[in-house]
Structure 1
Amino acid sequence: MARVRYGARTEAEIAATRTASSKLPDIWSTGVVAVWESDPDVVAAVLPPPLKPTARPLVRANISKVDLAGYPLGAGSVAVAAEHGGVAGWYPLVMPMTHERALTGGREVFGEPKKLGEVTVERDGLVVRAAMARHGIAFVEVRGAVSGSLPLPEPAQKTDFYFKFLPGVDGSGFDADPVLVHCVRNERVRKLESVTGDVVLRESMYDPVADLPVRRLVEITIGEKTSDQRGRVVERVSAQALLPYIHQRYDDPRQILDGPPEGSV
Structure 2
Amino acid sequence: MVRVRYGPRSEEETTRAREASTRLPDIWSTGVTAVWETDPEVVAEVLPPPLKPGERPLVRVSVSKVDLPGYPLGAGSVAVAARHGDAEGWYPLVMPMTHERALIGGREVFGEPKKLGEVTVERGSDGALRAALARHGVAFVEIRGTVGGALPLPEPADKLDFYLKFLPAVDGQGFDAEPVLVHCLRHERVRELMAVDGEVVLRESAYDPVADLPVRRLVEITLGEKTSDQKGRVAERLGAADVLPYVHQRYDDAAQVLDGPPEGSLSEGSD
**Preserved contact between residue 167 and residue 174 of structure 1 (Cα < 8 Å):** yes
**Preserved contact between residue 41 and residue 261 of structure 1 (Cα < 8 Å):** no
Distance 1:181 1:101 in 2: 21
Which residue is 1:243 aligned to? 244
Q: Give the TM-score taking structure 2 as reference length.
A: 0.95
What amino acid is the match of 2:235? V
Which residue is 2:121 aligned to? 121
**1:52-100 residue CA offsets vs partner (Å, 9 max, x unmatched):** 0012100000000001121110000000000002110000000000000
**1:164-215 residue CA offsets vs partner (Å, 9 max, x unmatched):** 0000111110012100000000000000001000000100001000000000
Which residue is 1:90 aligned to? 90
**Preserved contact between residue 187 and residue 227 of structure 1 (Cα < 8 Å):** yes
Distance 1:144 1:22 in 2: 38
Distance 1:244 1:262 in 2: 22
Report the count of equivalent residues.
Answer: 265
Alignment of structure 1 residues 1-265 onto 2, 5 Å: 1-125=1-125, 126-258=127-259
Deviates more, 1:17-26 or 1:183-192: 17-26
Point out where structure 1 has 5 or more consecutive residues left out of the alignment. none
**1:23-56 residue CA offsets vs partner (Å, 9 max, x unmatched):** 1000000000000000100111000000000121
Distance 1:62 1:49 in 2: 24
Q: Deviation of residue 17 (structure 1)? A: 0.5
**Preserved contact between residue 110 and residue 231 of structure 1 (Cα < 8 Å):** yes
What amino acid is the match of 1:231? G
What amino acid is the match of 1:27? I
1:105 is paired with a residue of what secondary structure? Answer: helix
Distance 1:148 1:221 in 2: 10
Q: Deviation of residue 258 (structure 1)? A: 3.6
**Preserved contact between residue 131 and residue 140 of structure 1 (Cα < 8 Å):** yes
Aligned-pair Cα RMSD in Å: 1.6
Q: Give the TM-score taking structure 1 as reference length.
A: 0.97
Q: Deviation of residue 264 (structure 1)? A: 7.8
1:103 is paired with a residue of what secondary structure? Answer: helix
Point out where structure 2 has 5 or more consecutive residues left out of the alignment. 267-271
**1:106-126 residue CA offsets vs partner (Å, 9 max, x unmatched):** 000000000000001111131
**Preserved contact between residue 90 and residue 160 of structure 2 (Cα < 8 Å):** yes
**Preserved contact between residue 212 and residue 265 of structure 2 (Cα < 8 Å):** no
Distance 2:23 2:257 in 1: 45
2:183 is paired with a residue of what secondary structure? Answer: strand
**Preserved contact between residue 45 and residue 261 of structure 1 (Cα < 8 Å):** no
Q: 1:189 to 1:53 in 2, by over 3 A?
A: same
